[in-house]
Amino acid sequence: MGAEPPNRWVAGAAEEIGRRAERELEALVGVSSPSGDVGGSEELAAIVTALLPADAAVERPPCSSPHHAPDLLARLPGTGSVRLLLLGHLDTVVAHAEHRSLTRDGERLVGSGTVDMKGGVVIALGLLGALADVRHSFAEVALLAVTDEEWRTHPFAHGERFSGYQACLCFEAGERGPGGEEGVVVRRKAAGTLLVRASGASAHSGSAPDRGRNALVALARAAEEVAAEHDPRGPERLTAVPTVMRCGEAFNVVPAAGELFCDLRADRLSAIESVLSAVPAAVGGATLDAQLVRRWPGMDTTEASAELLAGAGRLLGRPVVGVERGGASDASHVAEHVPLTVDGLGPRGGGAHTPEEFVLAESLRSRSEVALAVAAALLELP
């Protein structure tokens, strides 16, 4: 026996979202918006505002990161009792020179930011528009689109303002469950970015090498010590990966300064913070200063979301299951204040942060059904 069709409201709203989704995605992806670029963020904010329901109240709260364009917050009023947050981001990691506008390659819609996460923003906007027709079911639906998710080194500024909301839905890329089911993200590792700065002394590497204090050698030792903490099968599932080193200016000069970045992930943020102690204070006379420049909490809403996902599966006519993802998301910040947080409601795709980034065209419609079913289950829509 085949799966039951989605409930009538879910199916009708998904049809409308699917009808517009590719065109709206083309408009969003057409704007190059690397994190921190004010002009691109403002242009995107204007497009998003134009796609909102006419009576949505729009605010531009300050971004968590200095010198960024303000974030965008849209509020849609209702007459019910539930308050729901829809969460996404407008920035990408792709520089202007590498930006690709949307093109179709068979079933793939290829372009910068398609899956991370302008495709998700399209679905969030579609869901907000669909909810405008059932205002009796909620007190307020808010859409928060930030401009700094891809590279934020300051604390997330918006969590507390949504305390008391019943749920948060975040629209990072969609998943499949272990059996091919519709998957949504209910668990994420904590994440941190470790920056190690080295300070030494320069000298001619041929005539007086021992007069120098080699910052590169010190950073190499730091990288080895951090990598030794890597323990993905351990109790905290810690991954510790040196990723970027910048050091030296000439082939014949002892490097006097440099920096090392490491990507850290674990079940708990405290396990990440413990890696700081692995970095030596000095190596060969060069001093090392280590600090965590990004801290992202973990998220685990497996139990809190179980009943909601079961209800969504019944409305959808096919199972919706919670899955885990290693990458960081602003959903983790919000989950500290809104215990019922579900992520991964965006379309499926791949190649995030690369020139080949894409979404699967079909998934714009099918994943809209998932987001609509989750919202319908939450709001108890028939």
pLDDT digits (tens, 9 = 90+) for 157-201: 999 999 999 999 999 999 999 999 999 999 999 999 999 999 999
pTM over 0.85: yes
On average, the pLDDT of the chain sits at: 96
Distance CA 255, CA 261 (A): 17
> Counting Cβ atoms within 10 Å, is residue 47 exposed (0-12), middle (13-18) or buried (19+)?
middle
Q: Give 1's pLDDT tier (boundaries 50, 70, 90).
A: very low
pLDDT digit string, tens, across residues 83-97: 999 999 999 999 999
**Helix or strand (DSSP H, E) at 44:** helix 38-51
Domain with CATH 3.30.70.360 in the chain: 191-296
Q: Would the pLDDT of 139 be above 70?
A: yes
For the packed helices 38-51 and 8-29, what is the interaxial angle rounded to 10 degrees?
150
Average pLDDT over residues 8-21: 96
Cβ atoms within 10 Å of 248's Cβ, excluding its own: 18
Dist. CA 158–CA 185, nearest whole Å: 21
pLDDT of residue 23: 98
Mean pLDDT, rounded, for 301-328: 96
Q: Which of 336, 329, 363, 337 lies closest to 349 in space, CA to CA?
A: 363
Sign of CA pseudo-dihedral 77, 78, 82, 88 = negative
Question: Do residues 381 and 134 lie in contact, with contact meaning Cβ atoms separated by under 8 Å?
Answer: yes
Write down the pLDDT at residue 328.
86
- CATH domain 191-296 topology: Alpha-Beta Plaits (3.30.70)
**Per residue in 47-84, pLDDT tens?**
999 999 999 999 999 999 999 999 999 999 999 999 99
pLDDT for 340-353, tens place per residue? 999 999 999 999 99
- pLDDT level of residue 3 (50, 70, 90 thresholds): low
Q: For 8-189+298-379, which CATH class?
A: alpha beta
State how far the alpha carbon of 65 is from the alpha carbons of 45, 52, 85, 155, 192, in Å.
17, 25, 21, 8, 16
Judged against a pLDDT cut of 90, whether residue 254 lies above it is answered with yes
Question: 287 versus 294: which is more confidently predicted?
Answer: 287
- The residue behind tokens 């970045």 is 261
